[in-house]
Amino acid sequence: MGALTHESLVEYLIEEAYEVVDSIEAGKEEELAGELGDVLLQVVLHARLAEEHGRFDFDDVARAIAAKMVRRNPHVFRPDGTLQESFPATVEEIVQKWDAVKKAEKPGRSDPFEGIPPHLPALALAQKSLDRAERAGRAGRPAPAVVPVPVHATEAELGDYLLAVAAAAREQGFDAERALRGAVRRYQGDGEGTA
The predicted structure's pLDDT at residue 123: 82
The predicted structure's pLDDT at residue 146: 59
The predicted structure's pLDDT at residue 143: 58
What is the share, in percent, of the chain residues with pLDDT greater than 90?
Answer: 36
pLDDT per position as a tens digit, 33-86? 999 999 999 999 999 999 999 999 999 999 999 999 999 888 889 999 999 998
The predicted structure's pLDDT at residue 2: 66
Q: How many CB atoms within 10 Å of residue 163? A: 11
Residues of the chain with pLDDT under 50: 191-195
The predicted structure's pLDDT at residue 60: 98
The predicted structure's pLDDT at residue 194: 43
